[in-house]
Structure 1
Amino acid sequence: MEENKKIEQVRISVRPLVEYVFRSGDIHTGFRAVTALHEGTRIHQQVQRTYKEGDLKEVPLKTEVFYNNIIYLLEGRCDGLIYLEDGLMVDEIKSTSGHLADLQGGHDIHWAQAQFYAYMVAKEQNINHMQVQLTYIQATTSEEKQFRRTYTIIELEAFTLDVVKRYAPYISMRLQNAHLRNESIRALTFPFDSYREGQRKLAGAVYQTIKEGKKLFAKAPTGIGKTISTLFPSVKAIGEGLLQQIFYLTARTTTRTAAEQAFARMESKGLHIQTVTLTAKEKVCFQEEISCRKEDCPFADGYYDRINGAILDMLSQETLMDRSVIEQYARKHNVCPFEFSLDAAYAADVMICDYNYVYDPRVSLKRLFEEQKRQTVLLIDEAHNLVDRGREMFSAVIGKAEFLQLQRQFKGIDAGMFEASKAVNQYFIDLKKECGEHRQKLWKEYPVKLVSLLESFILQAETTLLQQGNGVATSQQLLLDTYYAAQNFIRIAKLYNERHVTYAEVHRNGVTVKMFCMDPSSLLSQAGKGFRAAIFFSATLSPLHYYRDMIGAGEEDYSLTIASPFHREQLDVRIEPLSTRYRDRENTKETLVTLLIQLVQERKGNYLLFFPSYQYLQDVYESFTEAYPQVTTIVQGIGMAEEEREAYLASFQDDNTETLVGFAVLGGIFAEGIDLQGDRLNGVAVVGVGLPQLGLERNLIKDYFNSTGKNGYDYSYVYPGMNKVLQAGGRLIRSEQDTGVLMLVDDRFLQRQYQGLMPEEWK
């Protein structure tokens, strides 16, 4: 009976509700005629300062709407509540870089948002009518334009209910999927016949960390089954009501596949859960050339008119939504597959994606609300990668060449754009003189003058870009690219702290300025703030204190080290004390080649040989093939395409009739995240201790950590280098049946410092 149907409660903010119902039109190029967040906040405050005494600003509002056995708990915050002689008025403030003359009556979404706030106020204060005002501010000129309407409580109530009715099919589908999910989780058992040694301990620690809302740093050996050991307890936590979402973050496509396979296995055991895998735009785009202008892309043209139907269709029928599933529905509904995957991911139980969707300030998931974060766990796979990735995310570089080009391009065409580009170009000319003979300059603060010039450049660029209409002509691509680069530079400047340094370099193509993040720990910690829990796991979080320090652990956060479940007899470790230091390589090359040939001649099989650089690899490869031409060899190339990488790995077959020797680079695509079980891999040689190349940035990191009382050389060189060695060596033993030979070639492997960083089974 309908009257006995359970009443559900749904909590939602006004803004995502009205955006879902009223969004329409096209995907733009990514350029928006709206200022950055900090600018928007300043403009809001500028308007709010004009309010009279007694008027209210940033007013929190909430109400309940009942429809079809669902109570909608609506929340929002209106910019202003103004007392007029004839009643109350809600003021909704929006900033824009566009021309106010182009605004015709205000935007539907803005009116809808303001009407909701008016209804919430009227209902709470028992008022019969409300005035609603939209205030638009031009960011450059501070010019204002206002639109005002009056509504009765009856009109507002009818509008609110109508919007909720239009949202109801989507939320009903979400609730139905949640019921199926929770019932299946309660019945779900561990999807393998038994736990491997150490798996139960890891799974238990993950669940307890989620329960307590902490961080866990787990060093668990290769082959233990870390993916299922983190996902299974997280899924169980959803069933217990501790979580609503899981974000599985990876650095590589190969580890993303492991997560997809783990969910497929749990689904085969009865789990009903919805996962969405995000694939990079350049990989998933249907067009030959990426252009999100509606004139160039039929999947961008009218995207928002079709997206709600596409999401309802896919989420009503699918559970594991990988790239192929997303592409299938994107073509069916004629929508952009990349944007479609993002929109679907917000509604899914699990998001499988790259680190940058959470940590990178340029691309992080901006629509995630704090309430949603508090019910989400971050599972960070191969977490050792997050240190250098964090440095990249929180650093920014910009150069002179583009601004000189723009200055020439807009001369006599657009005076404002010409002057803005010229001012930035002149800054670089002056900076080049300051660099002098050293061709370099270093300073501790962010470049204040450059940031100011870039802010002016951005405002002018927005005006110029808007004059092109919704799209940007191909001839203006340089301006658009430079606009994004300037925005990113300013974004990082606002995150700049004592862990950054700024340096300028003069080179053949001109001058560049880089704000370099030496220690990303505080910014990584800040980016992860608000989530329920975070699990950082890898086989090579060694030493643990270094990764806790670099990723931003608190004293209350947990650490866990799990011993290898494999027997020592499975791995034959040999250390060859031969110097592979740069200065000795030519003298020791002949001996090294002899050692490698002896290794692969011992038994027929498949071997991977890892080198610290492409140049060293190439030198040894030439000598190796000259001395041993009869063996089959394959070589990792620079910038291999996806098909080439797959072909390289596919060469390692367990039924190869002849020995295969693969040459690869330490820290490269074949040194981690690949799984060659059984006789697909019989031996690995790691040449050198993996130290990063000497250079300015590595030395800056070293000096910074020395100044904080730590061993700067270890933090900058030894630990990152040894991590590459551990990852490469970890390719060999992947299951209880695997056996093989691991040859470590360098005399430093016998030093106490390096021995202390090795796993027990290597010693």
Structure 2
Amino acid sequence: MEQEKPQVRISVRNLVEFIFREGDIDNRRKSVSADAMMEGTRIHRKIQKSKDERYLAEVPLKISLDEKLYQLTIEGRADGIFTEEDDFAVIDEIKGVYMKLEQLEKPIYVHQAQAMCYAYIFAWQNQLPEIGIQMTYCNLDTEEIRYFRENYRFEELEQWFLKLITEYKKWADFQYQWKEKRQASIHQLEFPYEYRPGQHQLVADVYRTINRKKNLFIQAPTGVGKTISTIFPAVKAVGEGLGDRIFYLTAKTITATVAKETFGILREAGYQAKLIQLTAKEKLCLCEEMECNPVHCPYAKGHFDRVNDAVFDLLHKSDFFTREEIIAQAKEYQVCPFEMSLDVASWADDIICDYNYVFDPNVYLKRFFQEGIKGDYIFLIDEAHNLVDRSREMYSASLYKEDFLTVKKILKPLSRKLEKNLDKCNKILLDYKRECEKFEIYDNIANLLFGLMRLASDMDEFLQKNPEFAERKTVLEFYMNLRNFLNIYELVDEHYVIYTEIQEDGRFMMKLYCVDPSLNLQKCLDKGNSAIFFSATFLPINYYKQLLSTKEDNYAVYATSTFKESQRLLLFGKDVSTKYTRRTPSEFEKIADYIGKTIACHPGNYMVFFPSYKLMEQVHEVFMDKYGDEAETILQQSGMKEEEREEFLLNFEENHAQAFVAFCVMGGIFGEGIDLKKDRLIGVIVVGTGLPQISNEREILRQYYDKNQGEGFDYAFRYPGMNKVLQAAGRVIRTNEDRGIILLLDERFLQSEYRNLYPREWKERKICSLDDVQNYVSEFWNTIPEQKDR
């Protein structure tokens, strides 16, 4: 029996957009008239439903072309196919746009090319000598529709289509040849280390999950080797055809670096793969100011004419694409390094990137995740506890009344129509403001939405006609924010709360608040095969399972810690509290005494974490009065830049003459993601339960989860707070050679509601008071650690 040839696949949309793009990057025009993101789906369905029974919607079409070594498969979904009275078939391609339709003299070529591909495939499948194409453009604000119609003979479509395929063939050849090389390298790949206790089981759990196309939540204590334990089985799964591309998603640069190093270790072991770590646009931009248009940026001018050659060349030069290589290649070909890096990612096997590139509706990689596209993707989601708040932010949107007045002032001399529209929206928001005392929740804001849609439509037309004017950047930013608000409104359902609030600075805000992001996240996860969520602080696991996915059959495992109990002293102070009613000078002195007595037992580097800057400063002042001669201290500052953060951490490299104490804030830049091994950090003191500060938004969360789960306080306060506590505590024991103490100061930690949230490895713990804390700490440091296994 003849063996089936390997497949090289590409979607119709990606094919035509890739081959036919040309010209400049121009944020003055493209950003305001691009195809709509979320609204497009709604308008497609509305138009499709309005047709009669001869109209077939969302028709899957596929053609496989037999190449020498592989089959090239082009596939997609035609928005509609209908037959006219004489059985003449017509392909309908629907495009939702923001631009005024009278500005369209003819169809946009890449849209027409998409329809021509579908027309060719359908005509070829059904042996049609002729076929029609209807381009249906719909303005998303007014729902006005404009049609363009053209008929084609099969022969001319075939000639056009085969020319398109010829242009793409060198890319398909490359894809096939590289995949063959990659798969062969994976088959001989072995785990690069001796397995730690429980690690083999974890690797097997990850592989099994991917094999079953499920999602897995891993509570992975520090030291289990979670990065290699997720990457290795994902790579092996790709080798077995269970996926084709790995996305390693992270919230922080430091964890992205660890992932890159781990892929590098596999590479040294023989793994051949193309890897890219996506870098933020502002970090790659080669211009002094980030103005992405041909007037201000030489790399934007003609970018699309040159970028394919730049990418093809780079793919043959390198496998691990560094930031330096991307920039050098961009300079050589005079293209935008950021946009080129996104194109390189299209050909990469492993992509390390921020959560945004997969989940954020404004930033996601449309090449992979556009509507109707599903890929053989494996998602590895690191430090996934961060995704809860990050996704709430991604799927929420807000407007400020004051911004309407600012933009009105700018546009008043330029457009009477926009001035009137902005004034009308401002007046509606003023009515909402008059109703608002603390915060107000609304079920319906239809009166405002109508005004916003009309404003957005007129702004689009104005921006198209006026590419240059004073303060355009401010106006464009307002417009994009307005569009985002309208797009997010399309997602609003029972997972959202719409509310208004007068903020501390006096500004009036209306917000579409995504209190439960699980449904929006799940829609993104469904674009791939499997997702592995992992974190050192994933407790309680059901809280995260409910907020990060809607699936009922997700797996969860608890990885075994490799650290010995004797490496750590875990103490709970029973006679201290950080409740607001107890924040008095005597309590500050007690906290300062706990710190002073702890560090007196053993010189070294310590971190003390507080729930707020204010409490940190109050305790620091008392500490310096009493213990200033016995220790060096440093305080975390609000809004520290990257260089200041690095300078702060350099203090842990030095040999200090006496104890060194860093005063920090829980949940801040030093509360997670830093790795101070061995004697660089020997103790962490956590002051308070980490409860988020009371705010209107937290109160909205509490009310929502009280109503839906009956656990409002837990979901809004206790669980997020305890996560910050566990993250801070996790800074101290990082390797099998580390020894150190963890001291938690708040009597609430002894309550059952908190005890139930302790990780398994916190079995050995002691309760202390200010009178005996020094005895416990001295005894720990004076005890000779047990010999390590040889």
Q: TM-score band, normalised by the shorter chain?
A: over 0.9
Verify: 1:512 aligned to 2:509, yes or no: yes
Counterpart residue number, 2:570:
573
Match of 2:473 among 455, 477, 498: 477
Provide the C-alpha distance between the structure 1 equivalents of 2:686 and 2:665, rounded to a whole number of angstroms: 9
Provide the C-alpha distance between the structure 2 equivalents of 1:183 and 1:231, rounded to a whole number of angstroms: 18
Q: How far 1:163 moved relative to its partner?
A: 1.0
Q: How far 1:352 moved relative to its partner?
A: 1.1
Verify: 1:13 aligned to 2:11, yes or no: yes
Counterpart residue number, 2:271:
271
Q: Kindly tell me: are residues 146 and 506 of structure 1, through their superposed partners in 2, closer, same or farther at Cα, counting changes over 3 Å?
A: closer
Counterpart residue number, 2:493:
497
Q: How far 1:36 moved relative to its partner?
A: 2.6
CA-to-partner distance for each residue in 1:286-332, whole Å, 9 max, x for gaps? 22222112211122222211211122122222222243333332233
Match of 2:557 among 557, 560, 565: 560
Provide the C-alpha distance between the structure 1 equivalents of 2:151 and 2:498, rounded to a whole number of angstroms: 54
Q: Which runs of 5+ in 1 are unaligned?
A: none
- Report SS of the residue matched to 2:511: strand
Q: How far 1:6 moved relative to its partner?
A: 9.5
Verify: 1:461 aligned to 2:478, yes or no: no
Verify: 1:719 aligned to 2:715, yes or no: no
Counterpart residue number, 1:301:
301
Instruction: Name whichever of 480-489 and 645-654 sits farther off.
Output: 645-654
- Counting only pairs closer than 5 Å after superposition, residues 308-707 of structure 1 correspond to structure 2 as 308-368=308-368, 373-435=374-436, 438-443=437-442, 445-469=443-467, 473=469, 475-507=471-503, 508-552=505-549, 554-577=551-574, 578-585=576-583, 586-630=585-629, 631-653=631-653, 659-707=659-707
Instruction: Name whichever of 23-32 and 42-51 sits farther off.
Output: 42-51
- Report SS of the residue matched to 1:315: helix
Q: How far 1:464 moved relative to its partner?
A: 0.8
- Report SS of the residue matched to 1:367: helix
CA-to-partner distance for each residue in 1:36-92, whole Å, 9 max, x for gaps? 356545766787789788565554433233445443222233444454769555444
Give aligned-pair identity as a percent: 41
CA-to-partner distance for each residue in 1:6-63, whole Å, 9 max, x for gaps? 9543222222111111101122216132453565457667877897885655544332
CA-to-partner distance for each residue in 1:473-513, whole Å, 9 max, x for gaps? 45222221111112222222222222322221234544211
- Counting only pairs closer than 5 Å after superposition, residues 66-465 of structure 1 correspond to structure 2 as 66-67=66-67, 69-78=69-78, 79-83=80-84, 88-98=89-99, 102-103=103-104, 105-136=106-137, 149=150, 151-192=152-193, 194-368=194-368, 373-435=374-436, 438-443=437-442, 445-465=443-463
Provide the C-alpha distance between the structure 2 equivalents of 1:45 and 1:253, rounded to a whole number of angstroms: 40
Counterpart residue type for residue 564 of structure 1: S
Provide the C-alpha distance between the structure 1 equivalents of 2:3 and 2:45, rounded to a whole number of angstroms: 47
Instruction: Name whichever of 115-124 and 130-139 sits farther off.
Output: 130-139
Provide the C-alpha distance between the structure 2 equivalents of 1:53 and 1:568, rounded to a whole number of angstroms: 70
Q: Kindly tell me: are residues 140 and 679 of structure 1, through their superposed partners in 2, closer, same or farther at Cα, counting changes over 3 Å?
A: closer
Provide the C-alpha distance between the structure 2 equivalents of 1:47 and 1:760, rounded to a whole number of angstroms: 55
TM-score by length of 2: 0.89
Aligned residues of 1:221 and 1:563 also touching (Cα < 8 A): yes
CA-to-partner distance for each residue in 1:131-189, whole Å, 9 max, x for gaps? 54545555667776665555443332222111111111112222222112111111111
Provide the C-alpha distance between the structure 1 equivalents of 2:600 and 2:625, rounded to a whole number of angstroms: 15
Verify: 1:754 aligned to 2:754, yes or no: yes
Provide the C-alpha distance between the structure 1 equivalents of 2:540 and 2:406, rounded to a whole number of angstroms: 48
Counterpart residue number, 2:788:
none
Q: Kindly tell me: are residues 335 and 386 of structure 1, through their superposed partners in 2, closer, same or farther at Cα, counting changes over 3 Å?
A: same
Q: Kindly tell me: are residues 601 and 284 of structure 1, through their superposed partners in 2, closer, same or farther at Cα, counting changes over 3 Å?
A: farther
- Report SS of the residue matched to 2:340: helix
Aligned residues of 2:608 and 2:686 also touching (Cα < 8 A): yes
Counterpart residue number, 2:64:
64
Counterpart residue number, 2:784:
none
Instruction: Name whichever of 120-129 and 535-544 sits farther off.
Output: 120-129
Provide the C-alpha distance between the structure 2 equivalents of 1:199 and 1:477, rounded to a whole number of angstroms: 52
- Report SS of the residue matched to 2:25: coil
CA-to-partner distance for each residue in 1:645-673, whole Å, 9 max, x for gaps? 22222322275565432221101111111
- Report SS of the residue matched to 1:406: helix
Aligned residues of 2:439 and 2:500 also touching (Cα < 8 A): yes
Aligned residues of 1:51 and 1:82 also touching (Cα < 8 A): no
Aligned residues of 1:607 and 1:683 also touching (Cα < 8 A): yes
Counterpart residue number, 1:740:
740
Provide the C-alpha distance between the structure 1 equivalents of 2:196 and 2:730, rounded to a whole number of angstroms: 18
Q: How far 1:564 moved relative to its partner?
A: 1.7
What is the total number of aligned residue pairs between the two structures? Answer: 754
Counterpart residue type for residue 638 of structure 1: S
Provide the C-alpha distance between the structure 2 equivalents of 1:40 and 1:300, rounded to a whole number of angstroms: 27
Counterpart residue type for residue 175 of structure 1: Y
Aligned residues of 1:111 and 1:134 also touching (Cα < 8 A): yes
Aligned residues of 1:249 and 1:381 also touching (Cα < 8 A): yes
Q: Which runs of 5+ in 2 are unaligned?
A: 766-790
Counterpart residue number, 2:786:
none
Q: Kindly tell me: are residues 717 and 133 of structure 1, through their superposed partners in 2, closer, same or farther at Cα, counting changes over 3 Å?
A: closer
Provide the C-alpha distance between the structure 1 equivalents of 2:564 and 2:138, rounded to a whole number of angstroms: 69
Counterpart residue type for residue 124 of structure 1: Q
Aligned residues of 2:395 and 2:517 also touching (Cα < 8 A): yes
Provide the C-alpha distance between the structure 1 equivalents of 2:396 and 2:142, rounded to a whole number of angstroms: 31
Q: Kindly tell me: are residues 663 and 324 of structure 1, through their superposed partners in 2, closer, same or farther at Cα, counting changes over 3 Å?
A: farther
Aligned residues of 2:39 and 2:487 also touching (Cα < 8 A): no
Provide the C-alpha distance between the structure 1 equivalents of 2:665 and 2:200, rounded to a whole number of angstroms: 34
Provide the C-alpha distance between the structure 2 equivalents of 1:16 and 1:48, rounded to a whole number of angstroms: 23
Instruction: Name whichever of 306-315 and 179-188 sits farther off.
Output: 306-315
Instruction: Name whichever of 224-233 and 153-162 sits farther off.
Output: 153-162
- Report SS of the residue matched to 2:719: helix
Aligned residues of 1:361 and 1:393 also touching (Cα < 8 A): yes
- Report SS of the residue matched to 1:514: strand
Q: Kindly tell me: are residues 148 and 714 of structure 1, through their superposed partners in 2, closer, same or farther at Cα, counting changes over 3 Å?
A: closer
Provide the C-alpha distance between the structure 2 equivalents of 1:166 and 1:632, rounded to a whole number of angstroms: 66
Provide the C-alpha distance between the structure 2 equivalents of 1:706 and 1:316, rounded to a whole number of angstroms: 57
Counterpart residue type for residue 532 of structure 1: N
Aligned residues of 1:691 and 1:718 also touching (Cα < 8 A): yes
Provide the C-alpha distance between the structure 2 equivalents of 1:84 and 1:726, rounded to a whole number of angstroms: 69
Aligned residues of 1:173 and 1:316 also touching (Cα < 8 A): no
Provide the C-alpha distance between the structure 2 equivalents of 1:391 and 1:142, rounded to a whole number of angstroms: 30
TM-score by length of 1: 0.92
Q: Kindly tell me: are residues 36 and 416 of structure 1, through their superposed partners in 2, closer, same or farther at Cα, counting changes over 3 Å?
A: farther
Aligned residues of 1:210 and 1:533 also touching (Cα < 8 A): yes
Aligned residues of 1:303 and 1:335 also touching (Cα < 8 A): yes
- Report SS of the residue matched to 1:248: strand
Provide the C-alpha distance between the structure 2 equivalents of 1:158 and 1:583, rounded to a whole number of angstroms: 80
Q: How far 1:368 moved relative to its partner?
A: 2.1
Provide the C-alpha distance between the structure 2 equivalents of 1:61 and 1:202, rounded to a whole number of angstroms: 40
Q: Kindly tell me: are residues 315 and 702 of structure 1, through their superposed partners in 2, closer, same or farther at Cα, counting changes over 3 Å?
A: same
Provide the C-alpha distance between the structure 1 equivalents of 2:151 and 2:158, rounded to a whole number of angstroms: 14
Q: Kindly tell me: are residues 530 and 593 of structure 1, through their superposed partners in 2, closer, same or farther at Cα, counting changes over 3 Å?
A: same
Q: Kindly tell me: are residues 182 and 70 of structure 1, through their superposed partners in 2, closer, same or farther at Cα, counting changes over 3 Å?
A: closer
Aligned residues of 2:441 and 2:500 also touching (Cα < 8 A): yes
